[in-house]
Amino acid sequence: MSDTPLIGVLALQGDVREHLIALASADAVARPVRRPEELAEVDGLVIPGGESTTMSKLAVLFGMMEPLRERVRAGMPVYGTCAGMIMLAEKILDPRSGQETVGGIDMIVRRNAFGRQNESFEAAVEVAGIDGGPVEGVFIRAPWVESVGAEAEVIAEHGGHIVAVRQRNVLATSFHPELTGDHRVHALFVDMVRAVN
């Protein structure tokens, strides 16, 4: 692989376009991924924010759930924001019935933990491994992480709650760096993809 990794954005539902732009600004080639054949071509994947229950249903419907699990197990780097974080959890608290996840991080995530749409907020968040000061965290009906297993590293907290976690090649944030124009979290992920390819 060249120094410019090819990174997919899971494009079943959610804020796909913003991630494509953020990844391109962080020196990756980015493209939407909807089908297993497209997933097979990328070096890494972003799972966007949106609605995790809908995304989960569509992933099953499009035959993507198993291929996603297989590639994550095989070590493909993945980054999930908000609903994407929920998709990467091994366990969700108060899931909708039948809601499945891809998994990848040994963590328990609480959906809508910070409140509903009208309780969305922004906050400066210090993220371990990211230099240059805190990132602006945009939280929209955001989850938080209730607990993590021994393998998972907590890289950010807000208000006493875990809001960013990394486990080997898998990264997850409760907030949406793709909405801010500050692409340092995407740059960190692009570096993770470069490191394994």
Q: Is residue 50 within the footprint of ligand GLN (CB under 6 A)?
A: yes
Q: Is residue 145 within the footprint of ligand GLN (CB under 6 A)?
A: no
Residues 178 and 195: their CA atoms lie apart, in Å, by: 22
Q: How far is the CB of 148 from ligand GLN (least distance, A)?
A: 19
**DSSP per residue, 29-81:** EEEEE-SHHHHHH-SEEEE-SS-HHHHHHHHHHTT-HHHHHHHHHTT--EEEE
Tokens representing 139 are 């939280």
- Catalytic residue status for 151: no
- Catalytic residue status for 146: no
Q: How far is the CB of 93 from ligand GLN (least distance, A)?
A: 11
Q: How far is the CB of 118 from ligand GLN (least distance, A)?
A: 13
Query: Do 111 and 143 form a contact (C-beta atoms < 8 A)?
Result: yes
Nearest one of 177, 193, 195 to 42, comparing CA atoms: 193
Question: Could you say which of 18, 82, 183, 186 is catalytic?
Answer: 82
Q: How many residues bind ligand GLN (CB under 6 A)?
A: 11
Query: Do 163 and 180 form a contact (C-beta atoms < 8 A)?
Result: no
Residues 90 and 20: their CA atoms lie apart, in Å, by: 26
Q: Is residue 167 within the footprint of ligand GLN (CB under 6 A)?
A: no
Residues 19 and 190: their CA atoms lie apart, in Å, by: 12
Q: How far is the CB of 77 from ligand GLN (least distance, A)?
A: 20
- Catalytic residue status for 82: yes
By CB under 6 A, name the one of 22, 82, 125, 148 that touches ligand GLN.
82
151 annotated to a ligand binding site:
no
Q: Is residue 111 within the footprint of ligand GLN (CB under 6 A)?
A: yes
Which residue numbers are catalytic? 82, 176, 178
Q: Which residues bind ligand GLN (CB under 6 A)?
A: 49-52, 82-83, 86, 111-112, 140-141
Binding site members for L-glutamine: 50-52, 111, 140-141
